[in-house]
Amino acid sequence: MRKATKCSSVCRALAVLCLLASAVGAQTLLTYDPYAGEFPVGIAVDKVGNVWVSLQYICQVRRYTPDWQESLRLNLLSTAECVGWGGAGGLAVDATGAAYVAVSTASPDTRGVYKIEPWGHIRRLPGTGQMTYANSLAFDHNNGTLYVTDFDLGAVWRIPDGRPAELWIQSPVLEGIALWPGGPRLGANGIAVHQGYVIVSVSSPTRLVRIPIGQHGSAGAPEILVSTAALVSAGVFALDDIALDVFGNVYAGAVMPSAVVRMSADGSQIAIVAGPVQGVTASALSLAFGTGKGERQSVFVAMCQGFYGTGCGVVRIDAGVPGRPLP
């Protein structure tokens, strides 16, 4: 018992030290033209280091090799079908190298979650047309369940392996507000799964929420892990996508300001670890840890100026600690 306690204390101390470490700068890896509809929103890295990026308004997904050569370009839908709502959003990858992308349109006939096989075959997952505004995705490492946030509904859906999508939880703590009449409510956004919990970032009013995964996979009572007041006090006004390091610290893209934010696993510490000085010059919309040799401490950030700042592209920052392994 004493040995376990000592180990636990050391692990917590190491996690705090990693949280306080600063990012050492950023490297620009890709640039996009937002005026040509190239608005990068989702990013994911597969087990061999390929990087997937979704471009929102043209409903396109591109894959890049570890040395940043484009190896796949796919149009999920026509631009006309994407205009006027969300378009292509968050990305996740599975152990086979397949990518999953959240797509939001005005029609239940086209919106939902699309699976892209490594060779480029595309299909929509059953039941996902029920989602109002599919946004971000994350796999449960234990059983292959895919969780998907619903931005407008203030909800999380789950897709058990091989079964249709089902509404997992809808809660006031996941709801957001609309910035204009008829626009989507800026609710549940980024998502990650860690040690029996689903962690969700809410955009506006911004906060971080933790939801226990109960018996038989049901959703437990959600709790606010990091409050709006705590984030605003730290200078953070709108969170987007999230990713986790091996200690469970939460890295979040920030829309306002243009930044990457790191929050401790227990929510007690908040730090802006990269901003314009480090190369994050526009709203950080999505982020993913690297998986290849020498890249596990790298965080790849998709950013664009549509909301805040200048420039559109993908930059790499050094987190100083590895990310969580992929499923």
Residue 205 CA to residue 186 CA, distance in Å, equals 8
Tell me phi and psi for residue 256, to 5 degrees: -135, 115
Confidence at residue 183, expressed as pLDDT on a 0 to 100 scale: 83
Residue 292 CA to residue 45 CA, distance in Å, equals 9
Tokens of residue 234, six digits? 């730290």
**pLDDT (average), residues 109-130:** 97
In this structure, whether the domain defined by 36-318 belongs to CATH 1.20.1250.20 is answered with no
DSSP 183: S
**Model pLDDT for residues 189-207, shown as the tens digit of each residue:** 999 999 999 999 999 999 9
Is 26 in a helix, a strand, or coil? Answer: strand
Given a cut of 90, whether residue 187 has pLDDT beyond it is: yes
Residue 173 CA to residue 176 CA, distance in Å, equals 8
**Model pLDDT for residues 53-73, shown as the tens digit of each residue:** 999 999 999 999 999 999 999
Tokens of residue 284, six digits? 């950080």
Tokens of residue 244, six digits? 């986790």
The answer for residues whose C-beta is within 8 angstroms of residue 229's C-beta and 6 or more apart is none
